[in-house]
Amino acid sequence: MPEKELDRAVQGEYKLGFEIDIEQDTVPPGLDEETIRFISRKKEEPEWMTQLRLKALRRWKSMEEPRWGHLYYEPIDYQSISYFSAPKKGPESLDEVDPKILEAYDKLGIPLEEQKQLAGVKVAVDAVVDSVSVKTTYSEELKKHGIIFCSISEAIRDYPELIKKYMFSVVPMNDNFFAALNSAVFTDGTFVYIPKGVRCPMELSTYFRINALNTGQFERTLIVADEGSYVSYNEGCSAPMRDENQLHAAVVELVALKDAEIKYSTIQNWYPGDEEGKGGIYNFVTKRGICEENAKISWTQVETGSSITWKYPSCILKGDNSVGEFYSVAVTTLAQQADTGTKMIHLGKNTSSTIISKGISAMKGQNIYRGLVKIGANATGARNYSECDSLLIGDRCGAHTFPYLESKDAHGQVEHEATTTKISDEQLFYLRQRGIGEEDAVSMIVHGFCKEVFSQLPMEYAVEAKALLNLTLEGSVG
């Protein structure tokens, strides 16, 4: 199966750049209180939610777009974006989902049909097209375990207490410019709740797709793992090829209560634009998790898409003995720019964090690792280990490492290592002497470089990630 996947992958070009031809219900571009009310009304939200959105909008208006990233792009005109787009046919039940959407998800290789099982593993999927969750699978089966897996709109309607308690608790609405924007206009996303002591029996998964023209996608994900529970969650994404840039500003909040564990994996493959930097998604994402005592949050990301990536999945290690992990592969080729990394905030005693970041730059790609490790004064016995390696392919790309390591003496240890290399001629030659073609040899070395990160992904996603990596690097080698 891996071979088949690889074969499928090595076709070059952005393969997911098709457009779904479905009728859209789209609000005209622009952002003011009226837009917010419109979205809220469309989603039949309770008044408290509308008020929260309006508050976020007011906050956002007083904030400035951050420019500290090592990123170069034309200013974004926030009034030219449409903040709501939904397939016109509202999918009330699973049977009503527009067959065209199902077909589209089929093209993406996402099993929406419940009987379809990937590699023998059950995967429950929530699919989000533009702003609206179109289908959630397996939710009935999950309900038996008391697990809630639904769109965030449904959650606001059906589980207001959980939402009120946890939404904005990890990423406050005024956390940063993009988080504030999302808090005002978020249209859908996924909500997961795992009750006490429950080990979620299957992988949970959400696929996001931006389809409509001139729209931004602003989804919001909230995962709450109650005491002693476990969940593994995956997200994937894609967008059609378009000449103009599209904005994606998402927020993800994770809450891992005492002894809970959340594994969050992302395969990000938004349209990257072309070699001249034309088109592509601007991906400004805020992801953060909070760990209570003995809890563990593990972020794994494979970032191959988007023309601009700005995201730092972070862990607040509040509880004693809690653990945070960040594993990342970021590939920038064409004219892509990625400023990504993590923040590990150690507050509790004996907390530990691990950061493994692998950046690969090819063609004109610019890859930036930016990370913060902070050991608080009370975090006695805290430990961090970071390793940030960059691989350069070709002489027009760039690789940059900007770690911030702040340590209060709490009998902790912070260790950071970074290297920047190119593929060595010697390694390449060795493989070629054994009869392996140049491109395959490069791909083999690159995969070896990323291995530590891929091994963190659930098996079937690791296959997808590897295929995606090959696809992305296709044509940028040599």
400 is a site residue for other proteins (CB under 8 A): yes
In the stretch 10-49, what mask flags binding to other proteins with x, by CB under 8 A?
----------------------------------------
Give the distance, in angstroms, between the CA of residue 208 and the centroid of all CA atoms in the same chain: 10
| Closer residue to other proteins (CB): 162 or 428 | 428
| Closer residue to other proteins (CB): 94 or 444 | 444
User: Cβ 68 to other proteins, closest distance in Å?
Assistant: 8
Position among 29, 159, 422, 477 found at the interface with other proteins (CB under 8 A):
422
| Closer residue to other proteins (CB): 258 or 416 | 416
Residues with Cβ within 8 Å of 45's Cβ and at least 6 positions away in sequence, in order, are 153, 156, 157
In the stretch 312-331, what mask flags binding to other proteins with x, by CB under 8 A?
--------------------
Residue 224 gets which letter from DSSP? E
Give the distance, in angstroms, between the CA of residue 48 and the centroid of all CA atoms in the same chain: 28
450 is a site residue for other proteins (CB under 8 A): yes
5 is a site residue for other proteins (CB under 8 A): no
Give the distance, in angstroms, between the CA of residue 392 and the centroid of all CA atoms in the same chain: 24
| Closer residue to other proteins (CB): 146 or 394 | 394
Position among 184, 224, 267, 414 found at the interface with other proteins (CB under 8 A):
414
Residues with Cβ within 8 Å of 78's Cβ and at least 6 positions away in sequence, in order, are 31, 181
The residue length of the chain stands at 478
Position among 145, 195, 420, 477 found at the interface with other proteins (CB under 8 A):
420
By rule CB under 8 A, what count of residues binds other proteins?
60
Q: Which tokens belong to 467?
A: 């295929």
In the stretch 61-90, what mask flags binding to other proteins with x, by CB under 8 A?
-------x-x--------------------
Torsion of CA 177, 180, 182, 183, to 10 degrees: 170
Q: How far apart are CA 148 and CA 345, in angstroms?
A: 29
Task: Please provide the distance, in angstroms rounded to a whole number, between the alpha carbons at the two ends of the chain.
Answer: 28
Residues with Cβ within 8 Å of 368's Cβ and at least 6 positions away in sequence, in order, are 69, 70, 71, 337, 338, 339, 340, 341, 359, 400, 401, 402
Position among 27, 290, 295, 397 found at the interface with other proteins (CB under 8 A):
397
User: Cβ 224 to other proteins, closest distance in Å?
Assistant: 34
Position among 418, 474, 475, 477 found at the interface with other proteins (CB under 8 A):
418
Whether 129 contacts 20, CB under 8 Å: yes
Q: How far apart are CA 185 and CA 206, in angstroms?
A: 20
Position among 390, 456, 470, 472 found at the interface with other proteins (CB under 8 A):
390
Residue keyed to tokens 């809220």? 40
Position among 75, 120, 435, 478 found at the interface with other proteins (CB under 8 A):
435
| Closer residue to other proteins (CB): 87 or 403 | 403
Among 296, 269, 300, CA closest to 287: 300
Binding site for other proteins (CB under 8 A): 68, 70, 375, 377, 390, 392-422, 424-427, 429-438, 440-441, 444-445, 447-452
